[in-house]
Structure 1
Amino acid sequence: MDEAPPAAGSSQIFADNLKGFILAVASSAFIGASFIIKKKGLKRAGAYGSRAGGGGYGYLLEPLWWIGMVTMIIGEIANFVAYIFAPAVLVTPLGALSIIVSAVLAHFILKERLQRMGVLGCVLCIVGSTVIVLHAPEEKTPSSVEQIWDLATQPAFLLYTASAVAVSLVLMLHCAPRVGQTNILVYLGICSAIGSLTVMSIKAIGIAIKLTLDGINQAGYFQTWVFAMLAISCIVIQLNYLNKGDLSCY
């Protein structure tokens, strides 16, 4: 009788992790497909106006780009829900699978040939994601947003946050206007640096929603809204530079 609670707890953790895993894989499929759809839309918009890589926003009038955006939103929602159920260390690596989906669809839809190094990169993505997921540690779920805030305000994380913001500002204000249109790594660097903060804030919001649904209202904590504003800001920045990066070398 004494062993029943731990077993039940382990079963619930496994079930939540499985839900998070399935949602993360589905998210990668939708997001990977959205990149290809949006790129076709960006190409079509670029043929009739200024390109996104050159600072134009004509793609906002292109229906195909909006279809890609809707597909991405569906994928991001699935990814968001996955963070509610599973640890970030399990969900985040699965995002690399979107690269595989994009590579395969690009080969058939955009007629982009995948070279040997590209194939090797895809294999490494699969192997890396699999290793991390199989060895993902059990996560101790915080009981409130305040606990997440305490972890996020530790000196080490604050130092990392300041570094990520500083690198992003240098890339956005100095590098992007000069070499962004010819070097896609500038836009990818911005999205990656900001994306690391997005993961943290999305995980915090996911936990807040889960606790609220369990009867522990988190809307009264100002930290919840700080994390929400941070997530929205990061997502908007990523979307802007992701669209620029789609055609920066086109």
Structure 2
Amino acid sequence: MDVIAKENLTGVLLALVSSGFIGASFIIKKKGLKKAAATSGVRAGVGGYSYLSEPLWWFGMITMIVGEVANFVAYAFAPAVLVTPLGALSIIVSAILAHFLLNEKLHAQGVVGCVMCIAGSVVVVIHAPEEHPINSVLQLWNMATQPGFLFYVASVIVLVFILVFLYAPQYGNSNVLVFTGICSLMGSLSALDTFNTAIVSPIYYVMFTSLTILASVIMFKDWADQNAGNVISEICGFIVVLSGTILLHTTKDFERSSSFKGSHIVL
């Protein structure tokens, strides 16, 4: 196994570890919130702060931080086109743990979504491009100042200003794409209470992941040495991952709606 292949493998392993920690952190923090609410009688959603003194919640935060650090380091070993889609696996970890630890049932649609995420991730990993090694700061600077990437950065800045000053005041509260577009565009270079999390999360993931990969492809030319078959396979795998992610969130949204309606009838 050559050096680049070993680095790609290291990046994949770090991304998998990151997904495990981040997915588990949501469950740990939720259990901490529930425990704090049971103790104080006031939920965090209505202004309670007792969770700040709950060790379980802080353990969840530490777990998330470890996962984010592992994810950040993964980008040093493998290209973004490989690492970024693997972030969807944290949703699978969260869904499976929620099924067993929080009694949040994972129905048939959720299982299909998990399988799609795994299958798509496998396809992406198999056809991932080799990372181009960066040997100096000057080389990185040359990549960041190439005309194609500068055009992308300028386009992002223009689009963000248009969204912030023209569309956000008028359509920000009625169209979920406005704020998620701003976050995704800016995030590709380095909530909302208005909309349901189950709607925002998959849309943000799709936009952020797509734009991050686009920025990486433009700057590092990840696909320059790949044939059309590998590029098409990666795109198809990526689409499968996104579809599975959206299906998982749709299932969660359906369960929340059903639960709300049921409790409303009982009342």
> Which residue of 1 is the match for residue 173 of structure 2?
174
Unaligned runs of 5+ in 2: 175-190, 221-255, 261-267
For 1:18 and 1:161, locate their aligned partners in 2 and report how far apart those are by CA, in whole Å: 34
TM value normalised by structure 1? 0.62
> Which residue of 1 is the match for residue 197 of structure 2?
184
Alignment CA distance shift 1:130-1:62 (3 Å): same
Establish whether residue 149 from structure 1 lines up as the match of residue 140 from structure 2.
no
Alignment CA distance shift 1:163-1:108 (3 Å): farther
Aligned counterpart for 1:125 among listed residues 111, 117, 128 = 117
For 1:23 and 1:177, locate their aligned partners in 2 and report how far apart those are by CA, in whole Å: 29
Alpha-carbon contact 1:59-1:65 (below 8 Å) kept = yes
Q: Displacement of 1:159 after TM fit?
A: 2.3
Alpha-carbon contact 2:8-2:131 (below 8 Å) kept = no
* Letter in structure 1 aligned against 2:197: I
For 1:168 and 1:187, locate their aligned partners in 2 and report how far apart those are by CA, in whole Å: 18
Deviations 1:4-24 (A, max 9, x none): xxxxxx811011111111111
Spell out the pairing of 1:62-211 with structure 2 (5 A cutoff). 62-142=54-134, 143-144=136-137, 145-150=140-145, 154-160=150-156, 163=159, 170=168, 174=173, 179-180=194-195, 183-185=196-198, 187-188=200-201, 192=205
Alignment CA distance shift 1:68-1:178 (3 Å): closer
Establish whether residue 43 from structure 1 lines up as the match of residue 34 from structure 2.
yes
Alignment CA distance shift 1:64-1:196 (3 Å): same
TM value normalised by structure 2? 0.58
Alignment CA distance shift 1:189-1:147 (3 Å): farther
Deviations 1:190-213 (A, max 9, x none): 86489559968xx9xxx9xxxxxx
Q: Displacement of 1:28 after TM fit?
A: 1.1
For 1:162 and 1:52, locate their aligned partners in 2 and report how far apart those are by CA, in whole Å: 38
Deviations 1:82-114 (A, max 9, x none): 111111111111111111111111111001101
Alpha-carbon contact 1:167-1:193 (below 8 Å) kept = no
Tell me how large the CA RMSD over aligned residues is: 3.8
For 2:211 and 2:48, locate their aligned partners in 1 and report how far apart those are by CA, in whole Å: 25
Aligned residues: 193
Alpha-carbon contact 1:165-1:193 (below 8 Å) kept = no
* Letter in structure 2 aligned against 1:115: H
Spell out the pairing of 1:7-18 with structure 2 (5 A cutoff). 11-18=2-9
For 1:118 and 1:168, locate their aligned partners in 2 and report how far apart those are by CA, in whole Å: 35
Alignment CA distance shift 1:18-1:193 (3 Å): closer
Alignment CA distance shift 1:188-1:135 (3 Å): same
Establish whether residue 28 from structure 1 lines up as the match of residue 22 from structure 2.
no
Q: Displacement of 1:141 after TM fit?
A: 3.6
Quote the sequence identity (%). Answer: 51
Alignment CA distance shift 1:167-1:110 (3 Å): farther
